[in-house]
Amino acid sequence: MIKITADSTCDLSSAILDSMDITLAPLYILVEDKVFRDGVDVTAADIFRYVDREGKSCKTAAINTYDYECFFEELSLKYEAVIHICIGSCFSSCYQNATLAAEKFKNVYVIDSQNLSSGSGYVACEAARMTGAGAGAEDICRSLEALIPKVDVSFVIDRLDYLYKGGRCSGLEMFGAKMLQIKPCIEVIGGRMTVGKKYRGSFERSLEHYVKDRLRNEEDIDYSRVFITHPMCSKQTVDMVKELLCHDARFEEIIETTTGCTVANHCGPNTLGIIYKHKSKKSGYRT
């Protein structure tokens, strides 16, 4: 039997994790001088309370090699093989640390998802489906390597103050975006984050244009499933995006997931993305 695991950054719901038997390794969240485990001791709502209400500084930290060794050791004894899906190597040192830890085990495989949030979650779900279908570990790993360049991940961010506090944008960029009501689209291309189209107007209006833009190349979209991922958007906003997806596309399955502390800490409460798969490889991915 093969076990699928992932980092807590995959942002899959507890219902999905339970139904697919996916086990998470939590990243660390540093709040001032206290250390918490993502999704275990702290949630996205806690992050927003610490930052917006209490004015505290929050940072994320990778899983260290020792923690990965302990994590893999327990599971490698119980299963024929363990396949671990990591947050992209360009976003964190998790992949490097997990790879070093896996060298001690003959039956542990580490996959660089080249992605984050439900992008790596999408990869983990596909791995779990293949495991359920009886595929072998090496076949699953090869299939995942082919899948990864096809996964499309992007988010629209309402506020840039969280990016500013994390050193990912300048004070001038934050001020200009606020004054001009600019909502940037952050895309993952080639395993790296890049700023895509910049929308103007309200968050909801920007999301309307964003969804239509993402679905424009409809011939190359795999309509099996789409994730709507957000940390704390209103039900009204999420329902609007769902309605747009139903009206403009024909996805067989629409899955809503809540982001964990990593996305919350860097992007803020009003952040929403749609994640799906292309039929062909996206440009910009390394081989």
Dihedral sign from CA coordinates of 280, 284, 286, 287? positive
Judgement on whether residues 13 and 116 belong to the same structural domain of the protein: yes
Distance CA 94, CA 74 (A): 19
- Please write the tens of the pLDDT for every residue from 23-72: 999 999 999 989 999 999 999 999 999 988 998 888 899 999 999 999 99
Distance CA 217, CA 202 (A): 25
Q: How many C-beta neighbours within 10 Å does residue 227 have?
A: 24
The answer to whether the beta carbons of residues 196 and 176 sit under 8 Å apart is no
Q: Are residues 111 and 185 in the same domain?
A: no
Q: What is the pTM of this model?
A: 0.91
Domain span at 51: 2-149
Q: Which residues lie closer than 8 Å to 263 by C-beta, 6 or more apart?
A: 9, 11, 44, 116, 117, 155, 229, 231, 271
Tell whether 283 is covered by a domain.
Answer: no
Give the three-class secondary structure for 104: coil
Quick one: tokens of 46?
């806690």
In the beta sheet, which residues pair with residue 265?
Answer: none
199 falls within a domain: yes
Cα atoms found within 13 Å of the Cα of residue 189, Cβ hemisphere only: 9
Closest CA to 207 of 178, 225, 228: 228
- Sequential pLDDT tens for the chain (287 residues): 999 999 999 999 999 999 999 999 999 999 998 999 999 999 999 999 998 899 888 889 999 999 999 999 999 999 999 999 999 999 999 999 999 999 999 999 999 999 999 999 999 999 999 999 999 999 999 999 999 999 999 999 988 776 656 655 555 465 455 656 788 898 999 999 888 899 999 999 999 999 999 998 778 999 999 999 999 899 999 999 999 998 878 899 999 999 999 888 888 888 999 999 999 886 654 44
pLDDT at 129: 96
Q: Write down which residue in 114, 149, 184 finishes a domain.
A: 149
Burial class, 133, CB count within 10 angstroms (exposed 0-12 / middle 13-18 / buried 19+): exposed
3-state secondary structure of 213: helix
**Same domain, yes or no: 54 and 193:** no
Task: Give the single-character DSSP code of 90.
Answer: T
Domains in the chain: how many in total?
Answer: 2
Going by C-alpha positions, the residue among 147, 228, 154, 149 that lies closest to residue 188 is: 154
Asked whether the beta carbons of 38 and 27 are under 8 A apart, the reply is: yes
CA–CA distance, 166 with 148 (Å, rounded to integer): 27
Q: Which of 103, 125, 149 is the last residue of a domain?
A: 149
- Cα-Cα end-to-end distance for the chain: 29
What's the pLDDT score for residue 94?
Answer: 97
Is the same domain home to 109 and 179? no
| Nearest-angstrom CA–CA distance, 262 and 47 | 9
Of 125, 75, 79, the C-alpha closest to 98 is: 75
What pLDDT does 99 receive?
Answer: 98
Please report, for the domain that includes residue 227, its CATH number.
Answer: 3.30.1180.10
